[in-house]
Amino acid sequence: MKWSLNAIARLGRLFLDGAQHAGSMAFFALELAWVLIPTWSRPRDIFQQIYAAGVLSLVIILVAGGFVGLVLGLQGYNILSNFNASESLGVMVALSLVRELGPVVAALLFAGRAGSAITAEIALMKTTEQLAALEMMAIDPMRRVIGPRFWGAMISVPLLAAMFSLVGIVGGYLIGVVVLGVDQASYWGQIREQMEAWDDVAGGAIKSLAFGAVIALISVYEGYRAEPTASGMARATTQTVVLSSLAVLGLDFVMTAFMFGA
Amino acid sequence: MNNSRTNTDMIELDGVTFSRGAQVIFDGVDMRFGRGEVTVVLGPSGTGKTTLLRLIGGQVRPTNGRVLVDGAEVARARRKALYLLRRRMGVLFQNGALFTDLTVGENVAFPLRAHSRLDEALIRRIVLFKLEAVGLRSARDKYPGELSGGMARRAALARAMALDPEIMLYDEPFAGQDPVSMGVLLRLIRRLNDALGLTSIVVTHDVTEAMSIADRVIVIAGGRVIGQGTPEEVRAQREQEPALAQFLDGAADGPLNAAEEEIPLSADLGLRGER
C-alpha cells in the first residue's frame, strides 16, 4: 500500500518537474525572442559563433556523412539488386539522406559536438560570475552571450545537414558506381528525375531548420539555468545532449507525418 | 519623511527585508553609505554580504523596504534606468570574473568598447592608464588563466574602474590573498577612493585589515545590523552586543553559533534520550 502510494507520488513529482522545466524554458524562449533581432546589431559575434559551432563541427559531420553514404550504398545495392532495380540506387540514397538521415543524424551529431559545448561554456561563465559581471557592466548577457550562440547554432545546423547529405550521396556513388558497378548515368539521372525541389529538398531543409532552433534553444537554456557548481554543469551538458536528441527524434516523427504522411 | 536622510548618503537601505524561500537573509535592516567614504561591511560567512551588493546593483529585489542609490529606488528602476545606474557602479567580484577568452587588456577595454564610441588609440591609452593604476601594465597581453590570484583581482579592479564609476563595490576582495597582495589591495582601495572621490563598499570578513582602511564600519549577523559607526565606535559598542564582541574577537563560543546547539546531538542521531 505504502509502496504503491510512493510510486504514484514519484510519478506525480516527475510530471510536475517536467511541466515546470517546460514552462521555464517557454518563458526563457520568450525572453530570448525579444533579443533575437537586436543581436544582429553585432554580426561579428554571430559569425564567431557560427565558426565555433558550425565550422568546427565540419570534420565529424563530413566523416559521418561519408560513412552513412557508404553503408546506404552497400545495403541499398543488396536490396535493390534483388528486384533488378539497382539503377535506382542513386535516388534511394539521395532521398534517404535528404529527407531523413541528413537532417536527423547531422542534428544528433551537432547536439553532441556543439550543443554540449555551448551549454558548458555558458554554464562556466555563469559559475565564474562572468554573466553577473556583464549585467553589472550594464551589458545584457542575453544579447551579448545567449543571442549570438543561439543564432550560431541555428544557422549552422541546416548548413551542416546539407553538407552531410552531399557527402553521403558521393559516398553512395563511390560504393555503388565505382565498386559495385551500378551504371553511372542512371545513378545521377534518377536522382535528377525523381527528386522534387519542394517536397524533398525544401522538406528536409525545413526539418533541419526546426532541429537547429530546438537544439540551439535547449543548449543555451540549459547553460543559462545551470546550477553554478561542478555537478550542476555536468548535469546541464548531459541534459542538453539527452533533451536535444529526444526532441530531434520526436519532432522528426511529427514533421514527417505532416510533410510526407498523407 | 525620513529625518535621518541627508544628501551626504550615496546609498541607503530603508527597512530592507530579503528572504530566499523560507530563509530570511535580511530582516528590516537600515544602512547608510556616505558619499566619498569607504564603508566596510563585516559579518560572518553566509550572512548575506554578497546579497547586499546584489541588492544595491539591482540584481535581486528586496522582499520589503527600499534600496536607494543616489536617491533613486533601484527596484523600481526600469531596465534602461537600471542599466544607466549600473554604469555608475564598478563591481569587483569575488573571483574577479574576468572574461577568460580575452586578454587582460581586452578585458579592461570591454566595457569601454561596449559603452563608448572612442577610437582604438584612445581606448588603448585608457586601458594602459587603468592598468598602470593597479600596477599591471606589463600584464596587458596575458590571459586571466596566466595570472596569480592577486593579479587577477587587480586586473578585475582595473576593468571595474574602466568607465570611471562613482561607486565601487568590492565582494570579498581579500579572500584567499597572501599578506602582501592583501596589503596592496587594501592600499589600492583606499587610494582609488580618495584620488577619484568614489564611494566604496567593501564586503569582507577580515576584521582587522578592513577596519584599518574604513571610514565607517557596519557589522551584520543573523539578518540584522549588530554594530555600525567609525571603527572606534564599533569597537566601543561591543559591550552592549555580545555577538559583536564574539565576531571582533573571533571567539569560538558565543551567540553567533548558538543556533548550532539548539537541536541536541542526540536528537539528530536518532537517540531517544535516557530512559
The per-residue pLDDT for range A159-211, each reduced to its tens digit, is: 999 999 999 999 999 999 999 989 999 999 999 999 888 888 999 999 999 99
pLDDT at A219: 96
The tens digit of pLDDT for each residue in B129-152 reads: 999 988 888 888 999 999 888 889
Supply angle C-alpha B65, B30, B193, rounded to 5: 115
B111–A contact, CB cutoff 8 A: yes
Kindly determine whether residue B110 and residue A128, on different chains, have CB atoms separated by under 8 Å.
no
Q: Does B1 or A67 have the greater pLDDT score? A: A67
Kindly determine whether residue B115 and residue A138, on different chains, have CB atoms separated by under 8 Å.
yes
Kindly determine whether residue A132 and residue B59, on different chains, have CB atoms separated by under 8 Å.
yes
pLDDT more than 70, % of chain A: 99
Provide, as residue numbers in chain A, all residues whose Cβ is less than 8 Å from the Cβ of B59.
Answer: 132, 135-136
Please provide the DSSP assignment of A161-197 as one string: HHHHHHHHHHHHHIIIIIIT---HHHHHHHHHHH--I
Cell 553538407, residue? A163
pLDDT at B223: 84
Provide, as residue numbers in chain B, all residues whose Cβ is less than 8 Å from the Cβ of A136.
Answer: 57, 59, 86, 89, 91
Q: Which amino acid is at A32?
A: L
pLDDT at B231: 87
The tens digit of pLDDT for each residue in B244-260 reads: 888 888 777 777 766 55
Question: Closest chain B residue to A130 measured between Cα atoms?
Answer: B97
Angle between helices A2-36 and A203-224 (to 10 degrees): 110
Provide, as residue numbers in chain A, all residues whose Cβ is less than 8 Å from the Cβ of B111.
Answer: 137, 139
- CA-based torsion, A22, A28, A31, A35: positive or negative: negative
What is the rounded CA–CA span in Å between residue B35 and residue B231?
17
What is the rounded CA–CA span in Å between residue A42 and residue A36?
11
User: How sure is the predictor about B5, in pLDDT bands with cuts at 50, 70 and 90?
Assistant: very low
The tens digit of pLDDT for each residue in B102-114 reads: 999 999 999 999 8
What is the rounded CA–CA span in Å between residue A61 and residue A108?
10
pLDDT at B262: 64
- Residue ranges, chain A, pLDDT below 50: none
Kindly determine whether residue B89 and residue A136, on different chains, have CB atoms separated by under 8 Å.
yes
pTM of the model: 0.85
Q: Does A205 or B262 have the greater pLDDT score? A: A205
pLDDT at A248: 96
The tens digit of pLDDT for each residue in B21-50 reads: 888 888 888 998 989 999 999 888 878 888
In this predicted structure, the answer to whether residue B2 has a pLDDT above a threshold of 70 is no
Model ipTM? 0.83
